[in-house]
Amino acid sequence: MTARAVTIRQPSLWRRMAREGSTVRRLDGVMLVAVAGLCVIGTLLVWSCTRTWAPGSTGLVKKHLLNEAIGVVLCAIVATIDHRAMRAYAPLVFLLSLVGLGLVITPLGATINGSHSWILLGGGFAVQPSEFAKVGLVLIIAMLLAQPAEGSDRPRGLDVMLALFAATITMGLVMLQPDLGTALVLAVITAAGLIIAGVRKRFIGVLALIAAVGVFSVFYFQMLEPYQVARFTAFVDPSVDPRGVGYNSTQSLIAIGSGQLLGKGLLGGGQTTGRFVPEQHTDFIFTVAGEEFGFLGSVTVVLLLGVVLLRGLKIARECDDRFGTLVAGTIVCWFAFQSFINVGMTIGIMPITGLPLPFVSYGGTATFANLIAVGLLQAIRVRRQSFS
Amino acid sequence: MTRMRARLLMLHLLVLTLLVVLAVRLWQVQVVRGQEFVTRATETRTRAVIVPAVRGQILDSSGRPLVRNKTALVVSVDRARLSRMKDSGVKVLSKLSAVLGKPVADLQQRITPCGPGVGKPCWTGSPYQPVPLDEKVGTRQALQILERQEEFPGVTAEIHSVRQYPGGRAGAQMLGYLQPVTEAELEKREGLKASFSGVDLAGRDGLEYVYDDALRGKAGLRRVQVDRMGKALGVEEQITPIPGDHLVTSIDSRVQAVTEKALGRAMKSAPGADGGAAVVLDARSGRVVALASAPGYDPEIWGGGISARGYQWLLSDKSGKPLVSRAINGQFAPGSTFKISSVAAMLRAGYPLNGHYSCPGSVAVGGRAFNNFRGIPLGTLSLHMALVKSCDTIFYQAAYEQYLKDGGRFPKRKPKEVFANMARSFGFGAPTGLDLPGESSGRIPDRDWKKNLWNATSAINCERSRKGYPEEKDRARAEFLKRLALENCTEGFLLRPGDSANFSIGQGDVLVTPLQLARAYMALVSDGKLRSPRIGWAQVRPDGKVVRTIPVPVVGRLPISEKERLYIKNALSQVAADGTAAGAFAGFPMNQVRVGGKTGTAEVWGKKDTSWFASFAPTKNPQYVVVAMVSQGGMGAQTAAPAVREIYEGIYGIKRKPAVPDGRLTTRLPRFAPDGTVAGG
């Protein structure tokens, strides 16, 4: 009733959009506000920590705004697609993402910041196919596991095997770069898909065991790069080498801790200005929030992430087709894992892993992928069948 | 779908848990431990740069500088940075050696921290301090280093203030020198720690050491905000340094110059002279007017860190150890100058002041003949004439009598030891307490001293008395040494009659420093009070405010009556005019300035005599006490007395411009203009 009273005074376009049952009315506004909030905060933080790179510059903020604008367009396009149609495109999207990952290994690939995971597009632009691979894997796994076995609500064994196969190929290509962080995200997406799809606990247990053996042998046979081992050592005891590998975690703790309750104010962070924390605009962006906005600011970031995650879970629950639920659920797990690892490593409860903070960190491809995922969530919500 | 719902619910709980974990941890890091991280952030984000305070000057009694500051370009090396290089910085040092023109080995040794097996000139400062390698670089060399920093990592050239000595070599040992602060010193002195900096120097000897706290000032601090690479972003906090106070001394730089010159001439006049000292005291205030020691050295040698060769030279026998001040560390038998104490002891022992004493050419002491100078008998003398003519036998006789009274070889339970105790009353045998470090105490060879010496040496002497000296080529000498060892072994703990006789005329085992002798004479000719002389007169703030005046403490009283004191003083007043120093003072205008004093010629076994002259002037109400000593200088009248004469001539301006107008020393501190310049005293 009140809604109608308000709409009378709205312009006609808004009235049409706000009409009950319209696409706009069925979008998850709360989630979009949270995502927008994170993007705005991210922009401010990127500005704060990159403006010092050159005197008088605005740093990477313009490029970051452009990335976000492109991401919003992508998000809007994806949101308009019927997610059931998406199911048909899933194999294509997945194959495209594999091609992207494959190109990285060819001479087209480029190494930036020690990780060979880029394809240069010229004009200072580069894409990171491993970010798109997350979307591709989400879709293919949801597609494969959406069809339950005859007379059961568990997925068929063959489909599970195919899903694992798809995941293994993707992760294998990512590990060739090598990008351990993204590989872990892909593993989480796969595991989330299997769990949500209702695969037997026994089977999941076996997979977990295999994963554990895998992790152990990776360590045991020293398949990791020395820097990766060092990061884990430093995580267990940061005082081992405070100037070397322990430096990052020590400095990020100092930056965040010195923000105290209220923070030092935007652009007021001495640790940020002095660039004591490395990779501060990407993986360690949260330290800027911690130092300049204090506990209140950093908890706000965590809360906004929480809103996105919980609204995503709500979308998954309320969707009444298995594909939609699986897509939404795996996306939530992807975001949750990446957020927790990222924030956790800056405050010393997780080892240092090169994962950006969704919606906040600088990074074009990651922003695109994250906003595409938001678009997927919205698409699923818009077409839920709660009104039928 | 219910299964999926159930599993989604599980995920829901998991997500909530993770969110709570993050929030709790953030609360812990930012709110609970926030303050701790603020402190650590300040530590990483800022660098404290110590701004050294300008060290106060050391001024003479009229405000003329004895030690002042000049700015100089100083090249220093960051040891820590060099040691991190692959070749431990050898390449950088060799490049630096080409620029500075100093050998690489020398530079290397100077940056090596001192420790076991590391000789001077090693680095005495903190291993984290930059080591200054050269304080005298030219602008061109400094620019060479500064403009090509990439070739000289860890090397800097900065403007510092360094010490300058307008008087050149004059009083070098007294002024002392500066060296980098050692870690031990930092630990010891809490105040020093706060003002610690890479270029901090501390006084290591002389006045610089004693008045270090006053001269040092308080270093300032500049807290600079830096980035990860150590690049300065801005100044966060600034505390300006408080410059050190000036030390006004009672030294008169003109008298000091005259004294140095006279001492130098005396050293040259005596062919075998290997060291000398001259002390000028203000008899009216008890302060030091000049303090000279030969051989001297140019204190500029300490600038920019001393070289290995330079340091060895300062302490080598070949150069005569110029670092050692003979005025306070030279210990020599005083010879006849010591007779002021012996006369006083005789009076104390009851010998009449106006008595007549026979001065034969020789007296028997303990069965051995003790002779006058050249064995010449001087007839019957009053004590007055005994001093003027420097008769020895009267003192031998008296000392021997007192020795026997004390029980001789087998002393009474509590021997009186009148001569030794009187010597102590004159301040011998103990440091004067002058405001210089490391003063020697001299030696009073009394019965206790003999006993202690015997305890320490009897084992060796007794062994030698059995085995002899087979390594000695001269058989007669070996035999003599063997007999000496036997005597020392069997009765070395006893004060022998000869010991007491020798002591009475300042020979044998008695040792005094020139400063001790000077202050003994000062007590005698001024007011009978024994003072602890001072060089420092006042501590004055750079703006001219007097922080404190340094008093001259009275530490004792001569145990003789005023009449006796004046009697001895009167006797001495005749020495330069008619006595043993009459030759040296021939032609000196005694009617203008009457000089009193006493010559001393102390025999040193195996060496030439030590030449002494202790004096005061004018004899009526003395202003000055001047003592000169030349080791291996021959007779007192021959070497030391002419030096003293030259000093008086300089002070009073005889045949030249006087160093001190009217010969009267200033009694007022110099006045300072508010800008710190001397307005005139």
How far off is chain B from A296, nearest CA to CA, in Å? Answer: 9
Residue-level pLDDT at B626 = 96
Mean pLDDT across A180-202: 91
pLDDT, greater one: A57 or B192:
A57
- Show residues of chain B in contact with A197, CB under 8 Å: 4
Q: Locate the chain A residue with the closest alpha carbon to B16.
A: A306
- What letter would DSSP give residue A83? H
pLDDT given for residue A2 in this prediction: 47
pLDDT (0 to 100) of residue A245? 61
Q: Distance (Å) from the C-alpha of residue B44 to the closest C-alpha of chain A?
A: 8
The answer to whether the Cα torsion of A126, A130, A133, A134 is positive or negative is negative
Residue B127 has pLDDT above 80, yes or no: no
Q: Of B494, B529, B550, which marks where a domain is finished? A: B494
Q: What pLDDT does residue A387 have?
A: 45
Write out chain A residues lying below 8 Å of B7, CB-based: 195-196, 198
User: A271 and B45: CB-CB below 8 Å?
Assistant: yes
Residue B226 touches partner A, C-beta closer than 8 Å: yes
Number of H helices, E strands in chain B: 25, 25
Render pLDDT for A292-305 as a digit per residue (tens, 0 to 9).
Answer: 999 999 999 999 99
Closest CA–CA distance from residue A270 to any residue of chain B (Å): 7
State percent of chain B over pLDDT 70: 92
Q: A139 and A380 in contact (C-beta within 8 Å)?
A: no
Nearest beta carbon to residue B8 from set A259, A271, A329: A329
Smallest CA–CA separation between A295 and chain B, in Å?
Answer: 6
Assess contact for A131 and A137: CB atoms under 8 A: no
Does A343 contact chain B (CB < 8 Å)?
Answer: yes
Taking the C-alpha atoms of residue A189 and residue A89, their distance in angstroms, rounded to an integer, is 19
Whether the predicted pLDDT of B183 surpasses 50: yes
Question: What does the alpha-carbon distance between residue B220 and residue B151 come to, in Å, rounded to a whole number?
Answer: 31
Beta-bridge mates of residue B290: B280
Nearest chain B alpha carbon to A326: B4
Give yes or no for residue B681 having a pLDDT over 50: no
Q: What pLDDT was estimated at residue A232?
A: 66
- Provide, rounded to the nearest whole percent, the portion of chain B with pLDDT above 90: 46
Query: Could you tell me which residues come within 8 angstroms of residue B214 by beta carbon, excluding any fewer than 6 positions away?
Result: B56, B244, B245, B247, B539, B547
Per the CB < 8 Å rule, is B21 touching A259?
A: no
pLDDT for the residue A282: 87
Question: How many C-beta atoms lie closer than 10 Å to residue A125's C-beta?
Answer: 13
Contacts of A260 in chain B (CB under 8 A): 30-31, 34-35, 37-38
Inspect the interface and report whether the beta carbons of B44 and A276 lie closer than 8 Å. yes
- The distance of B225 to chain A (nearest Cα, Å) reads 8
Q: Give yes or no for residue A222 having a pLDDT over 80.
A: no
Higher-pLDDT residue of A67, B92: A67
Backbone angles phi, psi at B153, to 5 degrees: -65, 135
Write the pLDDT tens digit of every residue in B453-504. Answer: 888 888 888 888 888 888 888 888 888 888 888 888 888 888 888 899 999 9
Q: Report angle CA B470, B474, B476 to the nearest 5 degrees.
A: 95
Asked if A274's CB is within 8 angstroms of B30's CB, the reply is: no
Mean pLDDT computed over B408-436: 90
Nearest to A261 among B30, B225, B228 (CB): B30
B230 to chain A, any CB pair closer than 8 A? The answer is no
Q: Which residue of B has its CA nearest to A320?
A: B1
Q: Which residues of B touch A255 (CB under 8 A)?
A: 41
Residue boundaries of the structural domains of chain A: 27-382
Q: What is the mean pLDDT of residues A134-149?
A: 92
Q: What is the DSSP letter of B23?
A: H
* Beta-bridge partners for B282: B287, B624
Looking at chain A from residue 154 to 183, which residues have their Cβ under 8 Å from any Cβ of chain B?
154
Q: Say if B56 falls within a structural domain.
A: yes
Question: Of the candidates B244, B268, B285, which is a domain's last residue?
Answer: B244
- Binary contact (B37, A320; C-beta < 8 A): no
HEC assignment per residue over B142-157: HHHHHHCCCCCCCEEE
CATH classification of the domain holding B64: 3.90.1310.10
Whole-complex ipTM: 0.89
Average pLDDT of the segment spanning B633-649: 93
B4 touches chain A (CB under 8 A): yes
User: Average pLDDT for residues B533-561, to the nearest whole number?
Assistant: 93
Is the CB of A253 less than 8 angstroms away from the CB of B27?
A: no
Select the more confidently predicted residue: B609 or B43.
B609
**Chain A within 8 Å of B27 (Cβ-Cβ)?**
yes
Residue contact A274–B22, C-beta within 8 A: no
Cα–Cα distance, A187 to A137 (Å, whole number) = 10
Give yes or no for B22 touching A (CB within 8 A): yes
Q: At what angle do helices A322-346 and A129-146 cross, to 10 degrees?
A: 140
Q: Angle between the A180-197 and A129-146 helix axes, to the nearest 10 degrees? A: 10
pTM: 0.67
B89 or A196: whose pLDDT is higher? A196
B73 falls within a domain: yes
Q: Residue A3 — pLDDT band, cuts 50, 70, 90?
A: very low
Decide: helix, strand or coil at residue B148.
coil
What is the rounded average pLDDT of the residues A268-287? 83
Nearest-CA distance B236 → chain A (Å)? 11
Q: Which residues from chain A sit within 8 angstroms of residue B44, using beta carbons?
A: 251, 254, 271, 274, 276
pLDDT digits (tens, 9 = 90+) for A325-351: 999 999 999 999 999 999 999 998 888
Q: Which residues contact B9 (CB under 8 A, 6 or more apart)?
A: none
Q: Are B11 and A333 in contact (CB < 8 Å)? A: yes
Residues of B (338-367) whose Cβ lies below 8 Å from A: none
Q: Among partner residues A255, A257, A305, which is closest to B33 by beta-carbon distance?
A: A257
Measured between CB atoms, which of A197, A258, A332 is closest to B37? A258
CA-based nearest distance B5→chain A, Å: 6
Please tell me the total count of domains within chain B.
2
Q: Taking 60 as the threshold, does the pLDDT of residue A6 lie above it? A: no
**Which residues span the domain enclosing B183?**
47-244
Give chain B positions within 8 Å (CB) of A344.
21-22, 25
pLDDT at B28: 92
Q: Which of residues 250-309 of A touch B (CB under 8 A)?
A: 251, 253-261, 270-271, 273-276, 290, 294-295, 298-299, 302-303, 305-306, 309
> Is A198's CB within 8 Å of B4's CB?
yes
A274/B26 touch (CB, cutoff 8 Å), yes or no: no
Nearest CA in chain A to B4: A196
pLDDT, chain B, mean: 86
Boundary-marking domain end, from B186, B211, B244: B244
Residue B397: band (very low, low, confident or very high) from pLDDT cuts 50, 70, 90: very high
Q: Is the sign of the CA dihedral A274, A276, A281, A287 positive or negative?
A: negative
CB distance B22 to A343 below 8 Å: yes
At A383 the pLDDT is: 80
**Per-residue pLDDT reduced to its tens digit, B57-101:** 999 999 899 999 887 777 888 776 777 777 777 888 888 888 888
DSSP character at residue B665: P
Is A136 in contact with A170 (CB distance < 8 Å)?
yes
Sheet bearing B610-617, strands edge to edge: B287-294, B275-282, B624-631, B610-617, B596-602
A350 touches chain B (CB under 8 A): no
Residue B200 lies in a domain: yes
Residue B39 covered by a domain? no
Disruptive mutation site among A260, A335, A350 for chain B (greatest number of B CBs within 10 Å): A260
Query: Nearest CA to CA, how far is A19 from chain B (Å)?
Result: 30
Q: Average pLDDT for residues B418-432, to the nearest whole number?
A: 94
Instruction: Give the pLDDT of residue B86.
Output: 75
d(Cα B600, Cα B631) in Å, to the nearest integer? 12
Query: What is residue B319's predicted lDDT score, i.e. its pLDDT?
Result: 85
Q: Which of B1, B22, B38 to mutate to test the interface with A (most CBs of A within 10 A)?
A: B22
Instruction: Give B125's pLDDT tier (boundaries 50, 70, 90).
Output: low
pLDDT score for B197: 53
In one letter, which amino acid is B76? Answer: S
- State mean pLDDT over B253-257: 94
Residue-wise pLDDT tens digits, B196-221: 555 567 888 999 999 998 998 887 77
**Nearest-neighbour CA in chain A from B10: distance (Å):** 10
B393 in a structural domain: no
How far apart are the C-alpha atoms of B130 and B503, rounded to whole Å? 55
pLDDT at B537 over 90: yes
Residue in B with minimal Cα distance to A342:
B22
Average of per-residue pLDDT across B532-558: 93
